[in-house]
Amino acid sequence: MRDGGAAGRSPTTAERTRRLKAQAFGLGFDLVGIAALGPPATRAHFDAWLDAGLHGEMGYLSGEGAELRRDTRRPHAGATHAIVLATQYGGREPSGAVARYARGDDYHELLRERTRLLQHWLEQELGRPVNARPYVDSGPILERDLAQRAGLGWFGKNTMLINPTAGSFFFLSSLFVDVGPDVVLDQDDPFAADRCGSCTRCLDACPTQAFKGPRVLDATQCISYLTIELRGAIPEPLREKIGALLYGCDICQEVCPWNVSFTNALREEAFRPRELVLDAGSREGTRALARELLMMDAADYAAAFKGSAIKRAKLWMLKRNACVVLGNIGTSEDAPALEAMLAHEHEVVREHAAWAIARPHPSPRPSSRPS
């Protein structure tokens, strides 16, 4: 028998690559591409960003972390290629106080497990072990650069990786593999086009003006950083701009026309919003969640957020965020919960509670409107 996938002969590289991608889709990934490893195209951009100090307190991005990120061959010895995978998390879900990616189960473990299953499939396909390592938003890798290199999309002005058929509400993960000297997989062409064109919607919509220019984000001004990464007081001039956002911010993705037109409905059950955050799309629901956070003790927090990505923020940080939100949208009904925080053990929580209490608090309103 000649070429064509008949029994008794090894598949061609193209056939195996197609089968690997079909397997990835079968496992639940929405996009898949393959990139050869090497220095990232955005390396100079990354260095300039670090030099300007725009990474704030995210020290893991500098020093040794930066050195590893300057060449994707460094994080895992022997790896030659990355299979880059995207999994959508529900860009059509309504806006709310908690960023969409964090409303359901933590994606890290789920996607790592799926990526491992893809590795096992490849090992069975090749009939030998494969030197490989999965990364899910965890390794010292410029993931969006790698995804662009694997053909999954372009680096938008909002710094997100945007795919022309899926928008940007997706998780990126990757399986670093050593494909061996005989190269058993075809790599994809990098995504060459920049389809942002003259659009500046994301830059204009940012409530804190965190973009220093297209693709240059000052993380220290970004609500995602302020509510999740920052281990300290939120600078006072930024608190009002945080509005009703308790955890993360999706605004510069929500306004992107590629998400407006192409983001998809939530399909993955694990990422479906948990009961606790379900009502946090309305002003009253957000206030209720903020009050609930203020009343939580360590046991409540552990139970409420077991297996949730929200646990990246410690309980005192969530209380800090809740104070900011109630300072912005709270009413006199919320005053007792804030006053209780004046005795909190963490100085930052006490100070944010005092700030919130000093803000004007209207009387409760009879009707509910989205925040």
Tell me how far, at minimum, the Cβ of 206 lies from ligand SF4, in Å: 3
Q: Which among 8-16, 111-119, 250-258, 329-337 is the span making contact with ligand SF4, rule CB under 6 A?
A: 250-258
Backbone angles phi, psi at 92, to 5 degrees: -90, 0
Tell me how far, at minimum, the Cβ of 252 lies from ligand SF4, in Å: 3
Told to check if 49 binds ligand SF4 by CB under 6 A, we report no
With 0-12 / 13-18 / 19 or more C-beta atoms within 10 angstroms meaning exposed / middle / buried, residue 120 is exposed
Q: Tell me which of 12, 138, 165, 200 binds ligand SF4, using CB under 6 A.
A: 200
Q: Is 3 a catalytic residue?
A: no
With 0-12 / 13-18 / 19 or more C-beta atoms within 10 angstroms meaning exposed / middle / buried, residue 202 is buried
Told to check if 212 binds ligand SF4 by CB under 6 A, we report no
Ramachandran area for residue 153 (φ above 0: left; ψ -120 to 50: alpha; else beta): left
Is the Cα dihedral 269, 156, 43, 50 positive or negative?
A: negative
Told to check if 217 binds ligand SF4 by CB under 6 A, we report yes
Q: Which among 256-264, 276-284, 326-334, 356-364 is the span making contact with ligand SF4, rule CB under 6 A?
A: 256-264
Q: Tell me which of 110, 141, 230, 249 binds ligand SF4, using CB under 6 A.
A: 249
Q: Tell me which of 32, 54, 152, 210 binds ligand SF4, using CB under 6 A.
A: 210
Q: Shortest CA distance to 267 belongs to which of 10, 86, 23, 79? A: 86
Q: Shortest CA distance to 254 belongs to which of 292, 204, 213? A: 204
Q: Tell me which of 184, 222, 228, 322 binds ligand SF4, using CB under 6 A.
A: 222
Per annotation, catalytic residue among 30, 47, 137, 145: 137
Q: Count Cα neighbours of 371 within 13 Å in the Cβ-side half-sphere.
A: 24
Told to check if 208 binds ligand SF4 by CB under 6 A, we report yes
Whether the CB-CB separation of 273 and 93 falls below 8 Å is answered with yes
Binding site for ligand SF4 (CB under 6 A): 156-158, 162, 196, 199-202, 206-208, 210, 217, 222-224, 249, 251-252, 255-258
Active site residues: 137
